[in-house]
């Protein structure tokens, strides 16, 4: 089954199961960026340049640390009101800026 067939199936399913309320309309579309099938609201949606601007390249990493270190990281997140990513980014940037 290709993307178009899947998209058509989902559209027909949505039409059959929803009331026509102009405030809550949903459409199904294929993102031009990566070909992923997704749900879009009739207002707004995927637009080139929309959304949060990137601060760099995202790479997924798996990290094994002791339970005590993880607890310290979680405490830092709470104390500084930061996400885990922000805490790691701060630690890593601090380390590499000292070396240069």
For 34-67, what is each residue's pLDDT tens digit? 666 666 556 665 667 777 788 888 889 999 999 9
Q: For residue 88, what are the domain limits?
A: 67-99
Is residue 62 one of the residues assigned to a domain? no
Helix axes 67-80 and 84-99, enclosed angle (nearest 10) = 100
In sequence order, the β-bridge partners of residue 26 are 41
Is residue 33 one of the residues assigned to a domain? yes
Average pLDDT over residues 25-33: 60
Is residue 12 one of the residues assigned to a domain? yes
- Predicted TM-score (pTM) of the model is 0.49
**How many Å apart are CA 2 and CA 5, to the nearest integer?**
5
Residue 84 has pLDDT above 60, yes or no: yes
Residues 6 or more apart in contact with residue 90 via CB below 8 angstroms:
82
Q: What is the chain's mean pLDDT, rounded?
A: 77
Is residue 51 one of the residues assigned to a domain? no
Is residue 50 one of the residues assigned to a domain? no
Is residue 47 one of the residues assigned to a domain? no
Taken as a whole, the chain contains a residue count of 100
Instruction: Please report the pLDDT score of residue 6 as a whole number.
Output: 76
Instruction: Please report the pLDDT score of residue 12 as a whole number.
Output: 74
**How many Å apart are CA 94 and CA 36, to the nearest integer?**
37
Into how many domains does the chain fold? 2
């Amino acid at each position: 089954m290709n993307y178009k067939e899947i998209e058509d199936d989902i559209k027909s399913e949505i039409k059959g199961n929803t009331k026509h309320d102009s405030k809550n309309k949903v459409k199904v579309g294929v993102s031009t960026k990566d070909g992923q099938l997704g749900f879009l609201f009739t207002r707004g949606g995927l637009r080139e340049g929309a959304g949060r601007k990137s601060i760099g390249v995202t790479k997924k990493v798996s990290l094994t640390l002791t339970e005590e270190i993880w607890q310290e990281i979680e405490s830092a997140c709470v104390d500084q009101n930061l996400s885990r990513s922000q805490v790691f980014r701060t630690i890593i940037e601090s380390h590499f800026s000292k070396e240069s």
